[in-house]
Chains A and B, each alone.
Chain A
Amino acid sequence: MHSLIRPNAWVGLKLPSGSTKVMQIIPNTTISLGKYGAFPANLVLGRPYHLTFEVLDKTSEENFSRLRIVPASELHAEAIAEEDEAEGNATPATGSANDAVITATEGEEFSLVDEKGNVVARSGREVIDDSAIQTLTQDEIEELKREGNNAGKDVITKLMLSHTALDQKTTFSLAKYKLLKTKKYIRRFQVVPIDVASFAQWQLEEKDASKIMDLRAEMFGLVGCWGNVHYGGEDSIIDDPHSRTDQGEETCVPIQTDELKGRWLAVDDTCGMLVAAMAERMGVLYPKEGNEEEETTTEQTAEAKQEVKTETPTQNGTAKENGDVEMADAVPETTVPERPKTTATNKKQKVRPRGSDFAIPFSQTNTLTIIHSTSQPNLSLLNYWNFDITAPNHPPHPLLNHLLNLTWLQLLKPELDTSYSTPPPTASAEELASWKPSRRGNFHRKRRRFARTRYIVDSTRAGNFSGLVCASSMDPISILKHTLPLLSGGAPVAIYSPSIEPLAALADCFSVPRRTAWTSGNVPETVGKSLEELERWEGNEQFPLNPTLLQGVSIHTSRARRWQVLPMRTHPLMTERGGADGYVFTAWRAKPAEGRVEARGKFKKIQPSSNKKASKAEEESTPVETPAAVEEDDAATAVKRKRADTLPPLDTEGASTPENAATDDVASPTKKRKVDGEVEV
């Protein structure tokens, strides 16, 4: 993450109104902020993030507005002045800060104001007449704005002064009125970098929350931490096999399962937001730092993205870029000696040394494998970090070597997938030299695609992933059915869902009674199967998943409540974004022991002798579970009791509860039953 604003970087411009504009800062253009003014983009380029700028008035010599950096002391001038006042030392704040402060009349009580700054009620004071508020007419205000002096501060001051009831306003209402006017007229903005936190916030609150499945900041934190997503170790790229063009798939590099480390599996239906968050945690989202001053890479992307865009980046660019595939792939190969070294096809691109067709560009460690349900993954939001998975000849980006993608078909039935199952074409060097460049390009492209697909599919199917993270609209049970066998022992699972129901259904697959029935050998289908076979359990109606494959299943949610912290006016915000709460399912992959395992601990050995089926199940179930789980179950249960089941289920024991009272009076021979049947817990 760079600390200075670089050309063509995507940034967020925070406006006084509280909204954020996300745009690409293209050099030599004018950035317009609507009513907050316009200024040349070059005036923010090369400046640090998080500074607040003020759009100054145009001087007579220049035809553009210059910017002024607003010091923090000025931003906080008002709060500081109020604080000082509250403490009684009415020393005015220092220097320039003071002219921005309009202090309120003292010694008044609080009052309530509505959204428009009108006083709704106040204690011990007459209510201000609604009509007698602002004497400036709209035209006059417009006129003032056109004159546009002093970055909007004049307008605010005039508005304040011409307010007939200003002297009647209390500190509280005055502050609120001022704030409202400031939001509307002051010409300031702050530049924030587009990182996962700020971008997701914007996407959630101002853009389209459904696109990222309502993922809130709290959820990114929870999913990332419970998924244990972190830097997965030094890159280790597989050596180039240097296979010749007349060699087929036998020269593909084999998967070295022991070398595969620090790999996470992801299912992402958030247009790449989840992938971005994971990549950020793994350190592969932002380009390497250090080359802060030299602008090599971004300058190139600049040319690629010359078209002026404000918000949505290249969704429509894919079609065009796909058309470029042939051209791009015609870039010369180092392994073909006869090939003339023409780099003319792609002048903008520095030609990276490219290995043979079967060279695998991916690292074996610190990778992110995404499984998608369409033939191409939808990772459109990654464009904001200058990564486009569809671009055939991508400028350097850390995700290129660390992001692997495959379809569910490739994972589950690779033999049906064309790019996996079609053997790569072969041709001798002479043959190749006689071909047209476009045919040659196609030939290499096919071979490269084959090698990559083969590697991704085989390495993914080799399993041993360090964790699974999901934010998907698909049923989580079906996802886990196929991904659980791929996880290494102890690997965490973190699944996000905007609503709790799918996660509850998932958690229910690992419920205590299910696990109990499974481990006690009551499931005929499991008999005689080895642990490996059971790991790849295909599921039936009663056991959609092997319930012993996950441990520590729980569902959480988190919610951040924001507060306003101001002198004497500290309280939680009145309104916040509603919508989906968001829940996270977490668990660890367990490796069950072979054979039947019984739990131990304090159980309720209160089973009355009975040959009833139901009670039999109970008998078997209780001891096989961990006692704590049983206790937990107990706590959740309102009615704790056990009784002989020879009796008709005519009543509940909780006879005193009003709902049951009637039944009891009429129908239940309670006393009798207690004597001969009931066993107290």
Chain B
Amino acid sequence: MDGTMAPVTRSQAPKISPFLEPGKTTKVGSLAILQLSRDNLQPVYLKAPAGKHDGYAEGAVVNTRYGSFPHSTMIGVPWGSQIRASKVDTGSRGRNNKRKRDKSDDNGREASATVTEEKTEQESTPAEVNDGSTAATKKVVADVSGFIHILPPTPEVWTSSLPHRTQVVYTPDYSYVLHRIRARPGSVLIEAGAGSGSFSHASVRAVYNGYPTEGERKGKVYSFEFHEQRYHKMNKELEEHNLDSLVHLTHRDVYNGGFLIDGKSPEAEAIFLDLPAPWEALHHLSRRNPKNPQDKDWVSPLNPRKSAHICTFSPCIEQVTKTVSALRRLGWVDIDMVEIANRKYHTSRERVGLNLSMDRGVNNSARDVDEALARLTEIETRFREHAAKSKESDDEMDGDDDGLIKRHEKKEQKGGKKRGGDKKVKIDHKPASPESFETPASGMPLWMEGRLITRGEPEIKTHTSYLVFATLPREWTEEDEATAAARHPVVGEQKVIGVVDKAARKQERREQLQKATGNRKARRMERAAELAVTAEGGASGVVP
């Protein structure tokens, strides 16, 4: 929008991604995640305050419904900091920067932000008079209310804050997948269907073991994306996140193009396929050309020295059937299919009772039978008293109980609290009189009242996708077997391990005991055995 903003510089190449090492404080140019409320996260690239930006005198500003936050207030603070909203003039900006408009209606038409990361939710802040023409960055003034928290980026918060470009692989799924496909520091991982990048970020964290230098093999992610726009978007993101040297993104149709990088093998040992038809890409992921095993020119994208672990991610069962069938035919073993059900729980205080404070969230019905009983007794007593009085005055003797009670209640209400107080019915744990309401019934503060409960979130994801796992052992040829056999020749084995017969086990135990005479445990065992023997002897002595 204006040229005053310093572009995000990336001159020093091995700068560590904020995802991997955020440092202690926020820095200019870094990605930060603003936590507006518990599940409302918004990514922001922090910009140095350098004069006016986008019409704001304070430099770049993030406007939220919780107030306006100039970037200058969020730079150089410790991660996790609570940031107060600032007084930012959002009104005059519209007047000065936009096309000349009729002054009378610009209140309602504030400019929605044009910069993508500054999505504006319109919420008027106290508009003070400010002409905004000062060249220098305006000093910010804290507002009376409003705050957010600033979090370091992690794959989890990034995933939660993602704009949905495609179906996102969420944390419950990717955490399980990465665990199962053994993505560890130093692994090389192939990901096809980069999508929105949530899995890419999580997987690069898993395989990261340092930025690679020349000729060094480090953990790396090879990512493939067919959709061109998504490819460009993601490439930009990786660069902005300093992950471009750890994630190699390729724009390719992997069904036909395969997984090689410039004809060379990425030597991967972990694979994640989030494709509509994974079975069409699987034949590329073999040890040898599946059509012609003798083909010497065929290059496998897999690491020849390691077992490869794969996971495919498909929402439909038909896709699973085809994938599993293809995996079987291509020699994968340990084929396993699971689906992940994740649930989130909220905790709250369930407050039930007749005498609890009249707050939102209180269920004003009887807490237990005693309370109900006390209350019914009270009503009954009042009714009797009333009936007695009525008898004296000898009118309205229609005998309709309900009507009586209703009238009684009405009267009582008119009479106000004093009357209620007179006829207080004592209950041991809680008096059920209106007065008791003045103090919190239990003497407990609001946040400790009631029973602590957990309940599931209102909407749950019952199905994300089916996860198919499989393993492809490394190739083992006759020659390999011969060398291994030569290295580990079969000699006259004596000892047996594993499942051994009773005699052998006893023998072993005996040896062990002999060896460990100084061992306290062994001595205790011996003593126990002795004791058993003596006990037996004693018992047998008594019986005859």
Tell me which residues from 270 to 325 in chain A have a Cβ below 8 Å from any Cβ of chain B: 280-283, 289, 292, 307-308, 310, 316, 319-320
Closest CB of chain A to B477's CB: distance in Å? 10
Q: How far is the CA of A48 from the CA of B333 in the complex (A)?
A: 14
Known contacts A42-B491, A50-B333; is A591 also within 8 Å of B179 by CB? no
Known contacts A488-B79, A489-B78, A552-B38; is A51 also within 8 Å of B447 by CB? no
A352 on the interface (CB 8 Å rule)?
no
B344 on the interface (CB 8 Å rule)?
yes
Known contacts A64-B493, A651-B364, A660-B365; is A72 also within 8 Å of B454 by CB? no
Residue of A nearest to B331 (CB): A72
Q: Which residues of B contact A553 (CB under 8 A)?
A: 38
Most buried by A among B336, B446, B483, B498: B498
User: A639-681 vs B: 1/0 string, CB under 8 Å?
Assistant: 1111101011111100000011001011111001000000000
A18 on the interface (CB 8 Å rule)?
no
Closest CB of chain B to A635's CB: distance in Å? 6
Closest CB of chain A to B331's CB: distance in Å? 4
Q: Which stretch in A330-338, A410-418, A436-444, A508-516 binds the other chain?
A: A508-516
12 contacts between A and B (CB under 8 A): A64-B490, A73-B331, A196-B179, A220-B179, A281-B185, A283-B184, A554-B345, A558-B175, A562-B337, A593-B83, A597-B145, A628-B38
Closest CB of chain A to B326's CB: distance in Å? 11
Known: A26-B495, A598-B144, A634-B360. 16 other contacts (CB 8 A): A28-B493, A30-B494, A50-B334, A71-B331, A226-B156, A226-B175, A261-B21, A319-B520, A319-B521, A489-B24, A490-B79, A504-B345, A561-B340, A636-B348, A649-B356, A660-B365
Q: Are the CB atoms of A490 and B80 closer together than 8 Å?
A: yes
B263 on the interface (CB 8 Å rule)?
no
Q: How far is the CA of A64 from the CA of B305 in the complex (A)?
A: 30
A174 on the interface (CB 8 Å rule)?
no
Q: How far is the CA of A555 from the CA of B344 in the complex (A)?
A: 6
Across the interface, A556 reaches (CB within 8 A) one of B344, B447, B491, namely B344
Q: Which residues of A contact B453 (CB under 8 A)?
A: 504
The number of A-B residue pairs with CB atoms under 8 Å apart is: 444
Q: Are the CB atoms of B81 and A50 closer together than 8 Å?
A: no
Q: Which residues of A contact B518 (CB under 8 A)?
A: 320
User: B141-161 vs A: 1/0 string, CB under 8 Å?
Assistant: 001111101111011100000
Q: Are the CB atoms of A218 and B476 closer together than 8 Å?
A: no
Known contacts A614-B359, A659-B365, A669-B409; is A3 also within 8 Å of B84 by CB? no
Q: How far is the CA of A38 from the CA of B81 in the complex (A)?
A: 63
Closest CB of chain A to B414's CB: distance in Å? 10
Q: Are the CB atoms of A42 and B489 closer together than 8 Å?
A: yes
Q: Are the CB atoms of B307 and A637 closer together than 8 Å?
A: no
Across the interface, A51 reaches (CB within 8 A) one of B80, B174, B473, namely B473
Closest CB of chain A to B336's CB: distance in Å? 7
Q: Are the CB atoms of A308 and B360 closer together than 8 Å?
A: no
Q: Which residues of A contact B152 (CB under 8 A)?
A: 490
Q: Is the interface of B mostly helix, strand, loop or mixed?
A: mixed
Across the interface, B413 reaches (CB within 8 A) one of A597, A615, A672, namely A672
What number of A residues sit within 8 Å (CB to CB) of B? 159
User: A34-78 vs B: 1/0 string, CB under 8 Å?
Assistant: 100010111101111111100000000000100001011101100
Q: How far is the CA of A326 from the CA of B402 in the complex (A)?
A: 91
Residue of B nearest to A293 (CB): B487
A113 on the interface (CB 8 Å rule)?
no
What number of B residues sit within 8 Å (CB to CB) of A? 152
A148 on the interface (CB 8 Å rule)?
no
Q: Are the CB atoms of A517 and B440 closer together than 8 Å?
A: no
Q: Are the CB atoms of A570 and B320 closer together than 8 Å?
A: yes
Known contacts A490-B151, A570-B320; is A668 also within 8 Å of B67 by CB? no
Q: Are the CB atoms of B339 and A51 closer together than 8 Å?
A: no
Closest CB of chain A to B504's CB: distance in Å? 9
Q: Are the CB atoms of A23 and B497 closer together than 8 Å?
A: yes
Q: Are the CB atoms of B360 and A669 closer together than 8 Å?
A: no
B163 on the interface (CB 8 Å rule)?
no
A268 on the interface (CB 8 Å rule)?
no
Tell me which residues from 433 to 449 in chain B have a Cβ below 8 Å from any Cβ of chain A: 433-434, 437-440, 445-448
Tell me which residues from 217 to 247 in chain A have a Cβ below 8 Å from any Cβ of chain B: 217-218, 220-222, 224-226, 228, 230-234
Closest CB of chain B to A605's CB: distance in Å? 13
Q: Are the CB atoms of B440 and A570 closer together than 8 Å?
A: no
Q: How far is the CA of A280 from the CA of B206 in the complex (A)?
A: 10
Q: Which residues of B contact A32 (CB under 8 A)?
A: 496-500
Closest CB of chain A to B524's CB: distance in Å? 11
